[in-house]
Structure formats: structure tokens, C-alpha cells
Structure 1
Amino acid sequence: MIRYGIVGCGHIAKKHVEAIRAAEGAELVAVCDKDPERLAPFAVDGVAGYGDLGEMVKQADVDVINICTPSGLHPALAIQAAEAGKHVVVEKPMALTLKDADLMIRACKENGVFLSVVHPNRFRPAMEELRKRVETEAFGTLSHANATVRWNRNQEYYDQAPWRGTKAMDGGVLMNQAIHNLDLMLWMMGEVEEVSSYHATRVRDIETEDTSVSILRFKNGALGVIEAAVTLYPRNLEESLSLFGEKGTAIVGGPTANWIQAWKFADLTDSQAEETIHRIHEEPYGKPGHQRLIEDMTEAVAQGRPPVVSGMDGYRALALVIACQQSAERGRPVRMEELERNPGVKA
């Protein structure tokens, strides 16, 4: 059994508990939170509870540490876990700066442990099907892509915890909500060369942006558009990823990007396309993404091979968010090569 410990007993930790308990070969043995009231409901059924990560890694027999704290706390905890010889699963975004993400990657590499960033949307059945179409070059030359997140996060959402909506701990709509969709876009389209962005705080009383629009140029020459907002009334409206090429059109969308809304390819008949759409619509969610990610990390540790969603995958998504933020702040396009990094890391 691969033994897991969770740091941070907030809302997202519940998904990690469920994922670990459902994953074959995985076992939850310890949880950690400095707040005894948050810790108590998780430290049950033989799971040891700790108020400090240092105490947990010394006393608990743990192989993997899952970091579920506010985003700004991820780097220090990941480095501490790695230096204790523990593999790391960290919630998105992995960090709020590239320098911190670099330090996390280095710490894991130097201590011989794996780092996986939680981008579970890659495991959605529709996204896996879309990835196959990209890998087999069914689109031909890709012309452009569109990533859209039109969600509602009302003021009560931000007021429920002091870190939400802050620059130091949250990072804004691109960093905290849309980064999953940006990861998917990068997974499908490849590396970005340049971005041009506008950000605004139109509705919510927060430090960060609640609305963002960006235009991208990919290294392969394709173009892209990102639209992200948490201002939709009265509830989530849409999360979608659209890809367009000389031989294919695909849109995966819905309130969450789980359903195929367009599926046209030169190498597929209408009946073949409809069969795929029907199959995905019969089971749009599949096995929970967090569970798939934990199962992958469990196998990675047991087999000694890297996890499917790596630290560098998380790094690339973070770099795209930061490029968009810097473009909006500077009022001009930003090339990815301009981003400030620690030496030795290239996204």
C-alpha cells in the first residue's frame, strides 16, 4: 500500500480523502491542519491527526503528501515534504510565482521524489477523446482554439475565507478558476509564444480580477482566445474548450466541460461521430478525476515512473496565467520568454 497524508483540511481535502479511499493500492494514514476544529472531522477511523507538517512527516509512516492549503502556502509545504523524502501531490495552482514553482520542482528532483499537480480535468472522458484526436493529427493543421470559463462565484464565496480573492493567496479568476481550462488548452495545442490580455474587477469586492480576456499565439502558429469570469448571473453558465483545424472541429462544453457539443472530422462519418458523442453523453463524468490522479500517483510510486500530470505540466499552466496577468498590468503583449524564472527551468 502507498500511504498518503493530507495537509490542509478545507473543502478540497474532502475530494482527496474520497479519492485516496477509492483508489486501489492507496491508504490515507494521516491528516494535518493547524486549526483543531478543521482537523477533527478528518482525523477519524484510524487516521492520525497533526497540527504541524514537520510533526507529521517525522511521526507518520507516509509516502505521499497531498497539499490542500490556500495556494500561497503550497511552495513552502511542498519543499518541506520533498526534503523529508515524501512524494508530493499539490492542488492547483502549484504556486503563485514561477520562482516558487521552480523551487518546488528542484526540491523534488534533488530529493528523488515525484511531484504531481492536480489537473484532474485531463481525465474527463470527453477530454481524453479529444486528446486522441490531437495525437492522431485528425485536425490536420490547427488554426485556433478557444477556452471559456463563464462561472459564478458570488461575494459570499469570497467572504467565507479571508484568503479568497487576495493576490497573496488566491491569484484571481485565471489562477484559481480557469487554470484547469488553460492546462487543457496547452495539453491540446502545445506551447504559447505570446499573449495579450485585459483584466478587470467589475463586480466582486476583491483584490484580484474577476473578468479576463486574452489572445494567444502558439509556437506552432495557431491562435487562441481565453475568456474567464466569475461574474455570471445567477449561476455557472459554461466551461468549454474548442479546437478548430483544416480537417476537424471539436467543442467540449456544458456548465462544466464534460459534453461533446461539436465533433466533425474528415476521417469520420456522421454515424461514427454520433457514436462517440452518444458514448460520452452516456457517461460524461467517468471515474472522478481526483481518483484517477491518485491512482496514477500510486502506480508511479510503486513502479518508480513519473506521474502523468507532472510538476512541469503545472508549471506551464502557471506560466501562461502569469504571462496573461503581466500583459494586462503592462498594457502590452508579453512573450513567454520574458517571464522571470530561476536558472535551469524552461517551460
Structure 2
Amino acid sequence: MSKFKFAILGCGRISKKHAEAIANNYIEGELVAVCDIVAEKMDDTISKYIDTLRNNGINEVTSIRKYTDYKEMLVREEDIDIVTIATESGYHARHTIDCINKEKHVIVEKPIALSTTDAETMIKLAKEMNVKLGVCHQNRFNPPVQKLRKAIEKDEFGKLINGTARILWNRNDDYYNQASWRGTWELDGGTLMNQCIHNIDLLQWMMGGEIESVYAQTGTFLRGIEAEDFGAIIIRFKNGAIGIVEGSACVYPTNLEETLSIFGEKGTVVIGGLAVNKIETWKFSDNKEEVVLKDQCENIENVYGFGHTPLIKDFIQAIKEDRDPLVSGEEGKKAMEIILCGYESQYKNKAIKFPINNISTLNFKKIKYE
């Protein structure tokens, strides 16, 4: 089969990771089009793609077309196979649905959407149109995270007791002022939805997935945004285990940590590092403690890590093998739904039975933080 042809819709800063990942999968895919309303952003994304190819020893690059209207791109570029969507969160549903209706496979950045109804529509439509829908929770592909997942699947922890996701970062006013959509209920949500969703996804993936209830307290302490800049969530899983989320954009003066910890009757694992990429503790009852592991992602440049490349590779293989990608639409919905339940809990000041139907960030424009 010839290479899969990719387009990138939305050329903000995360789009460069998509471009890099497509280039790193050049044997099976190539970038043929990009779309953004700002021409300079498209140029930067294309440059990242070309630079990555050259670093990989590939100098011949197919012409990459630029569009400011994604609907025009979908009409003119009939041979596009896969669209990666990296627009503002509030537009994910609309853009994904339009691409699926044109029979394109879609990889959408997190969160999959900002409402459960939109996410369910996206998932259902992808099945009806016989295309694949994947969500960019790239940290699932980190080698230490994969190793932890295998330990979970082998029941090495025994009875799971609790897990914690700590995201203690700094996002100052300059960050929010760079883009007016950040921190808004309409297009973004707050720290939990934007910064913390990756680690929340990992927590629920490890702890059993099925959820009994969610209780949260959130607030806006320092940043001039509509939604929260700090949030804490307690998740009761149906298997009895408890998940704890601590998420902040207010840490002084810079990012402190992103850590995933899992505790069971026969094991303790802590994964930290800049992007949940380093095993800090690995202890099990068999006494085979592993302190330094060769399969860890070291020397990463930023919190995005290296997961986009294997995520793209898995998505391509999912199309070839006609299976779900590792992070399917259904999987991508889970962390987003936990966060929406957390917002509902804050609004009603009580634990919320999971799940909730027809809930959106727009439901919480009524939340007013003092």
C-alpha cells in the first residue's frame, strides 16, 4: 500500500509535535497539507516537518499545500487519508465531525471534546463512516508507562488501593494572554481540562477504568481566567480503589513535577520526570526492585515528551489491521468525562455519581470564583 497522506488542521505550538511524529513515520505516511488562519504558523509547522525529515536523512519532500479554510482543504485534497486536529479544544468536535463526514480518519488532540454529547457523536459517527478516531494521549506510549500497564495487566500489584496524579505546574498570566481562548469555559476549561488531563487519563487507565463517583474542589486563585487554576479530585472506582488528582497552574516559580503513583497490596510504583517518563520507584513483593531502567525516555525537551511518534505509528497500524487504536475515541472520552464530573461536583458541592449524560464545560459558565 502507498503511504498514508496526512493533513494537520490547526498549527499552534502542539502541531509541531504532530509534524515531527508524521516525519518520524515517513516510511508509512507523509504530510501533504496544513491548515490555519495564520500563515506564519503554517510555515513553522512545515519547517518542523522538513527539519525532522532532514535530521532523519531524508531530503526529498513532497510539496505541502497550505490552506486557511479547512473545508476547502477537505474538498480539494481528496486523497488525504488522515487529519490530525490541533485546533482550540472547543472546536475539536466540529472539526472532527466535518473531517469524518468526508471519510477521513482523525487523530484529535486532547481533550476529545468539551461535552459528553459531542464526544459520543464523534465516536458514533466514526463507526458509521467506517473510519478510525484516535485521541492524543501520547503519554500512554512512554516506555515506563507501558511497563506499568503490563504490571497492572499481570496483576503484580494484587489488590489496588489508591493512585495519585500530581500535576504541579506554573502557567502565568503571559501564557493565558497569548491566546484569548485559554482558560475560557467555551473553548478550553481550566487547569484540570488543559494541563492535567494527560495524567488523569493515565490514572484511570491504571486504576480500573470503571468509576463509581467523583468529588472535586476547584478554584481560581491567581490567574485572570474564567475557569480554575487549581483543582483537586477524588475518584472512587468500582473496584474499590481511590484515585486522587492534584492539579495546579499556580506553582511558584516554574513547573515542579508531574507524577503518577500507583499503590497496591504487593507493589508500589512512582513515575515522574518532565513528562511522566522516568521511573522513580519500582517495588514489588518479589524483591526485584528496578532502580535504573534502560527503556526510560531520557533527555526530553519539554512536557510533550516523545509519545506522538509511537501514537501515530499505532494509529497507522490500526487502520491497516482494522482495529481500534490504543487511544480510541472511547478511551479518549474517559478522562474528559471525569473532569466534567469534577466541575459538576464543584458546582453542586457534593460527590457526583458517574457518569453524567449531556454535560459540557458550557454548563459551568455559571460558576463564579471569588
Normalised-by-shorter TM-score class: over 0.9
Q: 2:93 aligns with which of 68, 75, 89?
A: 75
1:331 Cα deviation from its structure 2 partner: 0.5
Superposed, 1:169-184 pairs within 5 Å as 169-184=187-202
Decide whether aligned partners of structure 1 residues 21 and 148 sit closer, same or farther in structure 2, where only a CA change above 3 A counts.
Answer: same
The alignment partner of 2:261 has SS state of: strand
1:288 Cα deviation from its structure 2 partner: 1.8
Superposed, 1:125-140 pairs within 5 Å as 125-140=143-158
Confirm whether residue 143 of structure 1 aligns to residue 161 of structure 2: yes
Once structures 1 and 2 are overlaid, which stretch shifts more, 145-154 or 331-340? 331-340
Once structures 1 and 2 are overlaid, which stretch shifts more, 198-207 or 98-107? 98-107
Q: 2:173 aligns with which of 141, 155, 164?
A: 155
1:339, 1:64 → 2: CA distance? 30
Aligned to 2:11: 9
Contact 2:111–2:332 (Cα < 8 Å) also in 1: yes
Aligned to 1:31: 34
Q: 2:69 aligns with which of 52, 55, 63?
A: 52
Decide whether aligned partners of structure 1 residues 297 and 256 sit closer, same or farther in structure 2, where only a CA change above 3 A counts.
Answer: closer
Aligned to 1:298: 316
1:39 Cα deviation from its structure 2 partner: 2.9
1:253 Cα deviation from its structure 2 partner: 1.3
Aligned to 1:18: 20
The alignment partner of 1:11 has SS state of: coil
Q: 2:293 aligns with which of 271, 278, 300?
A: 278
State the AA in 2 paired with 1:128: Q
1:341, 1:42 → 2: CA distance? 34
Contact 2:278–2:298 (Cα < 8 Å) also in 1: no
The alignment partner of 1:27 has SS state of: strand
What 5-or-longer segments of structure 2 have no aligned partner? 48-60, 361-370
Contact 1:26–1:295 (Cα < 8 Å) also in 2: no
Contact 1:178–1:228 (Cα < 8 Å) also in 2: yes
State the AA in 1 paired with 2:324: P
1:230 Cα deviation from its structure 2 partner: 0.5
State the AA in 1 paired with 2:185: K
1:142, 1:75 → 2: CA distance? 35
The alignment partner of 1:157 has SS state of: helix
Confirm whether residue 315 of structure 1 aligns to residue 357 of structure 2: no
What 5-or-longer segments of structure 1 have no aligned partner? 343-347
For each residue in 1:144-179, what CA deviation from the matched residue of structure 2 results, as whole angstroms up to 9, or x when unmatched?
111110001111000001111111111111110100
1:63 Cα deviation from its structure 2 partner: 0.1
1:317, 1:3 → 2: CA distance? 29
Between the aligned residues of both structures, percent identity stands at 43
TM-score when scaled to structure 2?
0.87
2:338, 2:299 → 1: CA distance? 28
TM-score when scaled to structure 1?
0.93
Q: 1:266 aligns with which of 282, 285, 293?
A: 285
State the AA in 1 paired with 2:32: V
Contact 1:119–1:183 (Cα < 8 Å) also in 2: yes
Q: How many residues align?
A: 338
